[in-house]
A and B are shown apart, each in its own frame.
Chain A
Amino acid sequence: MSAKSPVKKTTSAKNESFKRLQKWEGEFNKCIRCGYCYELCPIFKSFNWESSTPRGKLLLLYGLLSDEVKPSADIAEKIFECFYCENCTSNCSAGVPITDILTDARKDFIDASFDVDGTTVTIDEDRCSACGMCISVCKSEALSFVENELGERKVDVNKADCKGCGLCISTCPSGVPYQKEGFGVTTDELETQITNFLNTNDKKIIVFCCNWSIFPGLQMSESPTLINTSYGVIVTMCVSRVTPELVLHAFKEGAWGVMVAGCPAGECEHDGNYKARRRLLLLKNLLTQLNIESERLRMGWFSRGESVKLKQAMDDFVDDIEKLGPIKYLSMISYW
């Protein structure tokens, strides 16, 4: 065994660049590292590394403060990987305000000139016409117009404020804002999940669940279970990420029915439920025109904790869809 220094002794925080973090030192000590914070963390579920857990991120920040860890792009990237579902904070009985700490850490990293993406959106400037639709839908006020050196208007992302909900992505008609792959939230990744599920299961029903509202409740509740269900549950970051293209992709790949479950009116932090509802109602009309029964697409709105209601709604949907069987005139959709 190598020689050990007696006790970690420091008299003050050494890393002066991270001023906002210093006020949280007491909270870092409160964290007992029980790990309950990562039970429902979508970032941890994407990567399965300890450094992706909220507990791990707090530890890294603590290390930065005590100068045991040097600030690096690698660490900054981890800190910017957060969807602000706040499942960690609500699961923390020690009362550590995890997401507030992570937000301050983001600001400190930006001040220290770190430029990383994490789960924040990036604007593809070459394709952006600066129409401002994305700015109008962003409830976090992370997007704004700025002028570049030529006096041209462009859209800027404040990475400290961007919560990665992706509403701007699903709103932009030109596909300008984008998120990095790896978190299972991009259209390509969601399409792959759908295809994989439909190819490997006899059952042909997909349920999209909003990660912010009901999915955590469903996972934690005692009675319903996600295992051996007769449908695939695909978790989205906000129900607004379920675009018509995604639903059509599911039908094209052989799904018999698609259910979209989001937050009730007034409960969606991003107002994504209204947008999803408008979009999917229009899609229902389109389905009828394509000779596909519109009842194959169902929407449902459920508050956090209404897992029993959600489970019942899923079971009812499965019963109804099994009566309908497979889509009869799929050829129409393949032209889409």
Chain B
Amino acid sequence: MKLDVEKLKGILGEKNVSDSPADLYVYSSDASVHQAKPSVVIRPKTIDDVQQVMRYANKNKIPVVPRGAGSGTSGHAVPIDGGIVMDLKRMNQILEIRPEDMLVKVEPGVVDDDLNRALQPYGLFYPPAPASSRIATIGGEIATNASGVRSVKYGATRDCVMGMKVVLANGDLVNLGSNTRVHSSGYQLERLIVGSEGTLGVVVEATMKIIPLPKYRCLAVADFKKLEDAGAAITDIISSGSQPSLLELMDGIGIVAVNKALDLGLPEVGAIILFEADGNVKEAVDYEMQKMKNICEKHHGYGIEMSYDAKERQRLFGGRKKLFASLSMYKEGIVCTDLADDMGVPTSKIAETAKKIHEIAKKHNVIMAVYGHCGSGVIHTKIMFDVKKHSQWDEAEDVVNELYDYVHSVGGVTSAEHGIGLSKAPAWKKARKDILPMMKAIKMALDPNNILNPHKLMDAPDNWVKSTNLRYRVMS
């Protein structure tokens, strides 16, 4: 690998290239547990910038790791082979809002919430809504096929992608997909890029579907003494044909943590469910809400609070939105880590999986919170332990293995919305041996020099603890 920083400065300008020790260290990690320093950090502004850099990197076989907000939890943006980290946050223009076609065209660095603020005056919104929407970029959301609380009704990023411009490993620019709601014109390559975690190309422009904001949104919270009851209620709501626009679960550990962090004073019960319906006809929303309320009550849900008011909804939802970060407040001395954090299971298995997670945690002497967009089958867990103790990492590794064995045995998936990256690769590779050759062939065809985010997904190391640096200082 021959890296000429001056050459990159010539392409992008002095101010947009850095190899200072401070910048290299800071760009060595994202929100995952991994850490590895790049050789240089660059900030392109235009498609031409990206193309020139890719041509240079391809010729010299230098790894390039595209990066958005760095909020990924699986290590996608950690450059474990060094090379170039390409920070795309400067490409942050909303290029077109076309209400007549119900689409937007954006650069990859546009922040999800900024896009929604821009769409609001048009009475429109962009629905995936990951919890990190306040900083998450559209490029990063495409790379991981991100989704969030509204996925139960509106789907994930993949469901919103109509087309995109992508710079390939050799610097070529391709225009994938279309401006139409559907197309049947060859391979749906734009969908191949979604979830590819920066391994197939750099998304430099995206055309996304947008939808009208509903006139009414009603959110409710129901308390449950037992986590299993809450899980069973979720399964029932989905199978009853209800159409929630949000259906979230949070267990007792999560409740304690948000109470500590945000002083919310939530009743510390076994679990809570948040459910929401939206629409343009109030009676229809009322009907859905009543139906879901009845199901919760049938499963011993109680203390149900319900509101149409925006501020009140924000209050009810506040704890869930900030849960991820709050978990570090659960108990002094333990830290919230992102390992096995977003498995997907069939909705009929929610209660069973939630129970199993707590059993595994108990067995291995770690604390695990269970929450997530359970209406879509997404279960988030955070493994909380003393990261300074080496033995606790060994336990965490066992927890991850056991948990994924279970999830895969009930027909679930390794990652529902955060992506595979480094942390989840061993379990995912073990479960999906059949598709690895096909994925490797696609990667080889598009990136023969293996420069785009190398050693992630199917090429990631088999043991994340032993093969990557952890960002914590672990005492013996």
Contact = CB atoms under 8 A, between A and B. Distances in A.
A150 interface: no
Interface string B59-80: 0000000000111000000001
A33 B31 contact: yes
B467 A4 contact: yes
B121 interface: yes
Contacts of A7: 390, 393, 465-466, 469-470, 474
Interface string B1-44: 00000000000000000101111011101110001100001010
A233 to B, nearest CB: 13
A8 interface: yes
Given A7-B466, A75-B22, A226-B117, A35 B335 contact: no
Interface string A2-18: 10111111110000000
Interface string A79-98: 00000000000001111000
A75 B35 CA distance: 19
B322 A93 contact: yes
A48 B118 contact: no
A92 B261 CA distance: 9
B132 A5 contact: no
B442 interface: no
In which size bucket is the chain A interface? 35 or more
A32 B23 contact: no
A1 B325 contact: no
B310 A38 contact: no
A48 B70 contact: no
A48 B336 contact: no
Interface string B434-476: 0000000000000000000011000001000111111111111
A326 B268 CA distance: 60
Contact of B135 (A39, A69, A222): A39
B153 interface: no
B373 to A, nearest CB: 17
Contacts of A92: 325
B31 A69 contact: no
Given A48-B90, A51-B23, A92-B325, A1 B134 contact: no
Nearest to A49: B23
A194 to B, nearest CB: 22
Interface residues of B, number: 69
A48 B67 CA distance: 13
B145 interface: no
Contact of A95 (B118, B329, B466): B329
Contact of A8 (B132, B261, B474): B474
Contact of B70 (A50, A78, A94, A223): A50
A36 interface: yes
Contact of A227 (B89, B121, B325): B121
A9 B30 CA distance: 20
Contacts of B69: 35
B472 A48 contact: no
A32 B338 contact: yes
Contacts of B471: 8
A325 interface: no
A1 B29 contact: no
* Chain A CB within 10 A, most for which of B18, B21, B473: B473
A1 B25 CA distance: 19
A interface: dominant SS: loop
Nearest to A67: B473
A38 B135 CA distance: 8
B326 A33 contact: no
A63 interface: yes
A42 to B, nearest CB: 15
Interface in A150-173: none
Interface in A125-141: none
Given A51-B23, A59-B26, A74-B20, A34 B261 contact: no
A225 B123 CA distance: 12
A308 B469 CA distance: 47
Nearest to B465: A7
A188 B144 CA distance: 42
A94 to B, nearest CB: 4
* Chain B CB within 10 A, most for which of A6, A11, A34, A70: A34
B48 interface: no
B387 interface: yes
A72 B23 CA distance: 12
A78 B322 CA distance: 27
A69 B469 contact: no
Nearest to B134: A39
B310 A222 contact: yes
A69 B473 contact: no
Nearest to A66: B473
B190 interface: no
A69 B22 contact: yes
B31 A48 contact: no
Nearest to B63: A1
Interface in A198-227: 220, 222-223, 225-227
A220 B132 CA distance: 13
Nearest to A1: B455
A227 B328 CA distance: 35
Contacts of A8: 35, 469-474
B267 interface: no
A7 B463 CA distance: 12
A8 B475 CA distance: 8
B261 to A, nearest CB: 5
B146 to A, nearest CB: 14
A94 B21 contact: no
Contacts of A4: 36, 80, 461, 466-469
B35 to A, nearest CB: 8
Contact of A36 (B35, B81, B134, B469): B134
19 contacts: A2-B82, A4-B36, A4-B468, A29-B472, A32-B324, A33-B29, A34-B71, A35-B31, A50-B41, A50-B87, A51-B26, A59-B26, A93-B329, A222-B310, A223-B310, A225-B120, A227-B118, A227-B121, A228-B121
Given A33-B70, A59-B29, A75-B22, 15 more contacts: A1-B455, A4-B467, A9-B476, A11-B476, A35-B70, A36-B132, A49-B18, A60-B22, A69-B25, A74-B21, A75-B21, A93-B261, A95-B328, A225-B118, A228-B118
Interface of A: 1-2, 4-11, 26, 29-36, 38-39, 48-51, 56, 59-60, 63, 66, 68-70, 72, 74-75, 78, 92-95, 220, 222-223, 225-228
Closest 10 CB pairs of A and B: A93-B325, A93-B322, A94-B328, A56-B26, A30-B328, A93-B326, A51-B26, A227-B118, A33-B31, A94-B325
